[in-house]
Chains A and B, each alone.
Chain A
Amino acid sequence: MIARLYRPLVTGLLPVALIACMNSPPSSAEPGAAAPLGIDLGGSGPVIASAQPALSARVIHVEADAASPRHSDIQMAHAGHNDAHGTGTVNSVDPAQHKVNLSHNPIPEIGWPAMTMEFPVAPSIDLTAIKPGTRVNFTIEQQPGGMYEIRAITPAGARQ
């Protein structure tokens, strides 16, 4: 009978020995104890033969935009451009503030319904061609702080 128990006993003890060999992290950290070590689950072994896509690492850069007055040094991280395109009609232009009030169509790219609202316009854009009543195509981009700014605005052809 002992002979019959012998094999399962030994097979049973082998994992115990191996487990005891693994430096198991204690469930508590006693002061002065050695740093608990992680359990290495092993390597991957042979990988799938199918050609893996080359590590096409898409590099995302956090843009260092001008500090928003409310947020000191904290900026929102952007992954490339956050822009959307729309069409609309100009209601009024404020050259002093460099702002434009538009009634625009829905912008599905960012989930906006049709709205009437005021946008700040990027400083480099010339607003003299934009008159109230003009139909325009425009591109807006979200700034840190959340506001959308017009990056491009052009009259939408002959249609009025």
Chain B
Amino acid sequence: MVPCPPLTRRRFMQGAAAAGALALIPSPLRRAFAAPAPVLSGTEFALEIGSVPLALNGRQATATGVNGQVPAPILRWREGDTVTLAVTNRLSEPSSIHWHGVRTPSPMDGVPGLSFRGIAPGETFVYRFPVHQSGTYWYHSHSMFQEQTGLYGAIVITPKAGYAQAFDRDYVVLLSDWSFESPETIVSNLKFQSNYYNYGQRTIGTFMADAQHAGLADTVADRLEWGKMRMSPTDILDVSGATYTYLINGQPPGANWTALFRPGERVRLRFINGSSMSIFDVRIDGLPMTVVQADGNDIVPVTVDQFRISVAETYDVIVQPTADRAYTMFAQAEDRTGYARGTLAPRPGMAAAIPPMDPRPMRTMADMGMAGMEHGEMPGMELSPEGKRLEGKVGVDNVAMMPADRLQSAGEGFLSGSRVLTYADLRALKPGSDPRPPTHEITLHLTGNMERFIWGFDGKKFSEAGPIELKRGDRVRFVLINDTMMEHPIHLHGLWSELENGHGEYRPYKHTINVKPGERLSYLVTADAPGRWAFHCHLLYHMETGMFREVHVA
């Protein structure tokens, strides 16, 4: 390994500026010099999308990478700059790149069919837009399943005015999921047998264990209750560790990806969930984490032991390890079928103990939107008129009878005794920029049919519904009711979603909101950017089977 001078920030910025200049050197010459650069900085970028050989735990595969890398290079921008990114598609199918959470003019948003036609094979598309925000974001393909096969990377935007909290080191922690099965096979399997990847189902064994614990009558009643609904409380994630290897910055758990620190330093960890279908529960045993940003926006710092990060969300945390030892960064999948793992250590080559995974959670009647109704009793309850309309439709397997406010809950699967982040804890550092109350509400039911693996809004797939129309300047409230028993991270392109979580004008600005099963939540949106914006569940196979809408701001 090349002996290197200590890489201080000043030196790095010099190199980064020069690397920007490097990008301007004509292409053939540049390729002669450029090693695969994992971090690209400046204002001019050349990104090449292509097939990349990937080896994981001794097994070979072909992934979709950028500049020969999976994950794609970290892009470093500065708030206030205008960035130009020439993206060349060297695949044999159309591609695209969407800058997740970054507010760009609509034609630069990267969604084929809404923003532009996509990038044809061999074509180069030049994105150019001003950057008016700072924080941690990410980018990924918005074409077919390329996001699953490796086209994802981090974006770090330095704030113009400086950071709100001091730190000494800064690492991107990009979590993702990788399968050696093709994504087309995965969705096809789910269409025929939706519990294909669920090896945690109820069996005779679990029946007997429950009967011993809770009594035979209660257990039988419970089985009948779920059986009548034709649902299983063991449905946590549609695609599990049965096919996934969970990665941290592209590394499997055994590779021991390590972030170095000197004891006493403050380390900023930019957690990004760049996976396609996996919700992670993140903790660092022995090290509390102070969450300082959510979805790229500053929040009042809150110290936790654990947080749940859903697909497409980001959380920036600051930790301050004081001991001269290694710490394990542990991100277990919500269904406990696998984990991603990295190490925080003072020196390379160290590792700490990897904790065992927590027990697998189970869905409850609260997740079915029927909290408080045990054993099928429904005293005088009636579905709302829209609920009645949805019931029984091909795309709907459940309508939440009593959707509840669950922002104060972290979710299921956390063991007692630890501090877990909830949405109710997210309080913005600055008050919101639009003080107006909403003039109208748009209510959407998150619906799905697990058995047929169809997902949508209000019982309809994207191809069966029209766009949601907003006028430029509108201040509107989106109300989401999750009629399904799975979490859905709902992402609105182009506009901020101000989650109404009880903090009034200090409500957090998010781009991706994880709606829990049986939950009813709301957020305010100012339609200040014209265009055709995508609005969808960020679970890739839900999006591709219909859980997608266009929000048209005219």
Contacts and interface: CB of A to CB of B under 8 A. Distances in A.
Direct contact of A and B (CB under 8 A): yes
Given A16-B34, A44-B166, A62-B420, A71 B414 contact: no
Nearest to A72: B213
Contact of A45 (B70, B74, B162, B351): B162
A14 B14 contact: yes
A101 B15 CA distance: 71
Nearest to A118: B379
Nearest to B412: A76
A60 B417 CA distance: 9
Categorize the interface residue count of chain A.
35 or more
Contacts of B168: 43-44
B163 A48 contact: yes
B372 A52 contact: no
A33 to B, nearest CB: 8
A47 B429 CA distance: 15
A27 B173 CA distance: 15
Nearest to B370: A146
Contacts of B18: 11-12, 14-15, 18
Interface string B184-228: 000000000000000000000000001001110010001000000
Contacts of A58: 302, 425
Given A58-B302, A77-B411, A101-B379, A13 B33 contact: yes
A39 B413 CA distance: 32
A116 B218 CA distance: 25
B300 interface: yes
Interface string A103-136: 1000001111101111100000000000000000
B13 interface: yes
A91 B365 CA distance: 25
A2 to B, nearest CB: 15
A80 interface: yes
A156 interface: no
Contact of A39 (B38, B164, B342): B38
B258 interface: yes
Interface string A32-67: 011111111111111110001101111111111000
A35 B343 contact: yes
A40 to B, nearest CB: 5
Given A16-B22, A56-B300, A115-B380, A44 B364 contact: no
Contacts of A117: 372-373, 379-381
Given A28-B54, A57-B302, A45 B163 contact: yes
Contacts of A77: 409-411, 414, 420, 422
A113 B370 CA distance: 13
Nearest to A24: B38
A44 B254 contact: no
B56 A82 contact: no
Contacts of B58: 31
Contacts of A147: 371-372, 374
A69 B213 CA distance: 7
**Chain A binding surface, main DSSP class:** loop
B359 to A, nearest CB: 6
Contacts of B172: 38-39, 41
Given A40-B169, A117-B380, A146 B7 contact: no
Most buried by B among A24, A59, A74: A74
Contact of B36 (A24, A62, A109): A24
B251 A62 contact: no
A96 interface: no
Nearest to B410: A77
A64 B418 CA distance: 10
Contacts of A48: 161-164
A42 B266 CA distance: 11
A153 to B, nearest CB: 16
Contacts of A137: none
Contacts of A12: 18, 21-22, 25, 33
Nearest to A53: B300
B252 interface: yes
A9 to B, nearest CB: 9
A8 interface: yes
30 contacts: A12-B18, A12-B21, A12-B22, A14-B14, A15-B16, A16-B34, A17-B15, A22-B38, A25-B251, A27-B65, A36-B258, A37-B257, A40-B171, A44-B162, A44-B170, A47-B165, A53-B429, A55-B303, A60-B420, A60-B425, A72-B213, A74-B359, A74-B413, A75-B414, A79-B408, A111-B405, A111-B520, A116-B379, A146-B367, A148-B372
Interface of B: 1-2, 4-5, 7-9, 11-16, 18-19, 21-22, 25, 33-39, 52, 54-58, 65, 68-70, 74, 76, 156, 161-173, 210, 213-215, 218, 222, 249-252, 254-260, 268, 290, 300-304, 342-343, 348-349, 351, 359, 361-362, 364-367, 370-374, 377, 379-381, 384, 402-405, 408-422, 424-425, 429, 520
The 9 closest A-B pairs by CB, nearest first: A146-B366, A69-B214, A18-B15, A29-B255, A57-B303, A21-B4, A42-B9, A146-B371, A116-B380
